[in-house]
Amino acid sequence: MAEKIALSFVVNDLQVTAVVETRMTLADFLRRELRLTGTHLGCEHGICGACTVLLDGRSARACLLLAAQLNGHRVTTVEGLSPATGLSILQQCFRANHALQCGFCTPGLIVTAHALLQENAHPSREQIQDTISGNLCRCTGYIPIVDAIEEAARIGAAAASLPVPVPSSVAPLVVTTNRLAGSVGSDTSVPPSTSAGHDNFVTGGYTRRLL
């Protein structure tokens, strides 16, 4: 039987308590147990950047982290960067500049760009290119992605894309390796988002309804 460990950490401003297998990655925990499927799995070797999340405010590869390592830390996924309604400025700029096609790499790029704009509100085009060099995209050729981030920087995306604060009355989530329970109940079926097309890619899709 696989060894398990209890942990408690914050995901998208919600306190999460869980018992997980010590070998479970953060990416698998987010996708399987919390249904935050905006964190995509590509190479699972930390190369493609599709699984990028924020760990204590800094970009990190969820496929290279074990969930057990996150005790006491704070994780933000692409769903946590989406406003309660609509799109953030950064997400709007991705859509307006056609900075996505298949959309698989988009959540990781959104998270990476957000981290950059939080650290440097006015990056140069070269700094943007350097930052996203660790995120692979096989569709766009990168130019519209750089354009989108550059435009977002001009209109203050870092401040506008901050997640909406969660009321203190929200109950903590209690998670097991079998189902999501607690404040959202043990029935984890969630209807698809009414938002269509590119909006789903830049926000992480329907999973933000859990937040």
pLDDT in tens, 126-145: 999 999 999 999 999 999 99
70, pLDDT greater than 90: yes
pLDDT, mean of residues 110-118: 96
Question: 5-29 pLDDT, tens per residue?
Answer: 999 999 999 999 999 999 999 999 9
pTM over 0.85: no
206 vs 21, higher pLDDT: 21
d(CA 107, CA 65): 18
Strand order, beta sheet including 52-55: 58-61, 52-55, 74-76, 4-11, 14-21, 173-175, 180-182
Q: What's the sign of the alpha-carbon dihedral 142, 143, 146, 151?
A: negative
Residue 208, pLDDT score: 35
d(CA 79, CA 10): 14
Residue 65, pLDDT score: 96
Residue 165, pLDDT score: 47
pLDDT, mean of residues 171-186: 42
Q: How far is CA 198 from CA 96, 97, 103, 143, 202, in A?
A: 10, 12, 7, 18, 6
d(CA 11, CA 6): 16
168, pLDDT greater than 80: no
Residue 86, pLDDT score: 87
Residue 167, pLDDT score: 43
Helix (H, G, I), strand (E, B) or coil at 17: strand
42, pLDDT greater than 80: yes
| Pair of tokens at residue 57 | 């405010």
**How much is the mean pLDDT over the chain?**
81
